[in-house]
Amino acid sequence: MSQLAIHNPATGHLITTLGADDASTVAAKAARARAAQHAWAATPLAERKACITAFRAGVVHDLESLAFTMTRETGKPIKMSRNELNGLLGRIDFFLAEADATLATQTVFADGGMTEQIQHTPLGVVANISAWNYPWFVGCNVIVPALLTGNTVLYKPSEYATLTGLEITRLLHKAGVPEDVMICLVGGGAVGAALLEQKVDGVFFTGSYATGARIAQTVGSKFVKLQLELGGKDPTYVCDDANVQVAAESLADGAMYNTGQSCCSVERVYVHEKVYDQFVQAFVATVKSFKTGDPVAEDTYIGAITRAPQLDVLQAQVDDAKAKGATLHTGGHRGTGEGNWFEPTVFSDVNHSMEIMREESFGPVIGIQKVGSDAEAVKLMNDTRYGLTAGVFTPNEARAKAVLEQVNAGTVYWNCCDRVSPRLPWSGHGDSGVGLTLSTYGIQTFTRPKAWHLRKA
Ligand code: NAD
């Protein structure tokens, strides 16, 4: 049996070694998920909801140890691990509250003896291949609504968050979800690729553009539902009438929270020339106040970089920005001790010839660029192949909406950033992906509509 070594990114130390899946165990697991699907779909929704309610209770009960496990294997500061788990509870509550109405069969026509109805039937067996940065969120955005709608789930957590993936699976089984209905696969990209060789009815992927594009090529000719939630290079524009201090503090948090390893991290900041110097000063002061350190410590704000190869990406972006004339205000180096560390880094005087303004950083590194007008800000915000989120800071609602209506992004923010709501669809434009999770659309997406034409004899 092949093995998967799990390391603590904050120290580099081995946490444990797990037995991993291979092509034959993946095939056997897929067969089990297929065999179990009809019975699960036939289980009344009330029973499926009861399992998810019990799962929620299990998360609450084990919250502290689950947070610790996530922190140890990803390097996420412990308070942020707790925040993620508490945020998950709200997402589960939303799905539970909306499932009945969203999944109810709709009568769309009734006239004399003729009735037309739309029934929401499950896709069948769904594959969920997942990222590590918010493993509870991105895992459960798929798993919870997929199970509620009667699908069985083959779940391949990231190799950088496998202990968390196994905890999600354990708690679902403990809550009454049958073992063949929710199945975890252990391993890296090769196990994900083996999963895609199986007959599944939907592929729900969260991860990088590069892997998403590869998956789209593999899955394309199979005609199964495919959703890809990928990376971003999310911009925010600070107008000349904004409260500069508030904007600087919000955006520093939006850029550096989760050590900058959020799909919707603020990755580019454009500031009107009238408030540029003041903004840069306040932003840098806020970033300098963030404490870097042991992710388990309660006052740590900047944790470890989860994947060691990302350190090279960050260093290359920093070196490129420096070489092209950007001004470095703080940071700029990787850590020298054990584990994967990168200093929170702020550049001003950046431009779009620099990688730091073009490619996803996915770390605590940010560029701030001066602009002369709203029109210039819109042009620069749209100068990207991605389109996940974008924001504007100004007290003027009409001005914010005029800017945001022109920006190509699945989510837009006025005076906020780095925010996800279970009530709103989460989707990307361009290379940020296809499909969506969350909101009632994020329940329906695990179903296919069946059209009923019913004539009384
Ligand atoms: P990744 O693409 O390296 O890995 C994602 C998953 O794909 C992992 O489980 C991995 O094992 C698997 N995988 C790798 N190669 C595969 C293959 N050939 N076939 C099938 N599966 C394969 O991404 P990551 O480093 O885990 O995640 C970081 C990325 O995820 C960032 O770009 C981030 O922006 C993005 N992300 C997006 C969202 C969103 O909602 N849009 C949310 C979280 C993260």
DSSP for 296-342? TSTT--B---SSTHHHHHHHHHHHHHHHTTPEEEE---B-SSSS--B
Region class of 10: left (phi > 0), else alpha (psi between -120 and 50), else beta: alpha
Tokens 């009568």 -> residue:
107
Provide the pLDDT for residue 1: 76
- Cβ contacts of residue 153 below 8 Å, gap of 6+? 33, 125, 126, 128, 142, 143, 146, 147, 181, 182, 183
Whether the Cβ atoms of residue 445 and residue 422 lie closer than 8 Å to each other: no
CA of 211 to the centre of ligand 1 (A): 6
State if residue 229 touches ligand 1 by the CB under 6 angstroms criterion.
yes
CA of 324 to the centre of ligand 1 (A): 30
Q: Rounded to whole angstroms, how far apart are CA atoms 362 and 222?
A: 32
State if residue 206 touches ligand 1 by the CB under 6 angstroms criterion.
yes
Provide the pLDDT for residue 136: 98
Q: Rounded to whole angstroms, how far apart are CA atoms 51 and 46?
A: 9
Whether the Cβ atoms of residue 364 and residue 76 lie closer than 8 Å to each other: no
**Best substitution site from 158, 166, 226, 424 to test ligand 1's pocket, by max atoms within 8 Å of Cβ?**
158
Show which residues are catalytic: 229, 263
Edge-to-edge, what's the strand order for the sheet holding 234-238?
327-330, 345-348, 365-371, 266-272, 234-238, 389-393, 411-414
Q: Rounded to whole angstroms, how far apart are CA atoms 227 and 203?
A: 6
CA of 174 to the centre of ligand 1 (A): 28
CA of 215 to the centre of ligand 1 (A): 10
Eight-state DSSP code of residue 258: G
Provide the pLDDT for residue 326: 98
DSSP for 261-298? --TT-EEEEEEETTTHHHHHHHHHHHHHHSPB--TTST
Q: Rounded to whole angstroms, how far apart are CA atoms 158 and 3?
A: 14
State if residue 151 touches ligand 1 by the CB under 6 angstroms criterion.
no
Task: With 0.95 as the threshold, say if the pTM is over it.
Answer: yes
What's the CA angle centered on 291, arms 290 and 297, to 5 degrees? Answer: 135
**Best substitution site from 211, 262, 314 to test ligand 1's pocket, by max atoms within 8 Å of Cβ?**
211
User: Which of 163, 175, 140, 184 shows the shortest CA–CA distance to 67?
Assistant: 163
CA of 139 to the centre of ligand 1 (A): 12
Q: Give, for all 457 residues of the chain, the pLDDT tens digit.
A: 799 999 999 999 999 999 999 999 999 999 999 999 999 999 999 999 999 999 999 999 999 999 999 999 999 999 999 999 999 999 999 999 999 999 999 999 999 899 999 999 999 999 999 999 999 999 999 999 999 999 999 999 999 999 999 999 999 999 999 999 999 999 999 999 999 999 999 999 999 999 999 999 999 999 999 999 999 999 999 999 999 999 999 999 999 999 999 999 999 999 999 999 999 999 999 999 999 999 999 999 999 999 999 999 999 999 999 999 999 999 999 999 899 999 999 999 999 999 999 999 999 999 999 999 999 999 999 999 999 999 999 999 999 999 999 999 999 999 999 999 999 999 999 999 999 999 999 999 999 999 999 999 8
The helix (run of H) or strand (run of E) holding residue 235 is: strand 234-238
State if residue 282 touches ligand 1 by the CB under 6 angstroms criterion.
no
State if residue 189 touches ligand 1 by the CB under 6 angstroms criterion.
yes
The helix (run of H) or strand (run of E) holding residue 34 is: helix 23-42
State if residue 263 touches ligand 1 by the CB under 6 angstroms criterion.
yes
Q: Rounded to whole angstroms, how far apart are CA atoms 374 and 391?
A: 12
Q: Rounded to whole angstroms, how far apart are CA atoms 81 and 137?
A: 11
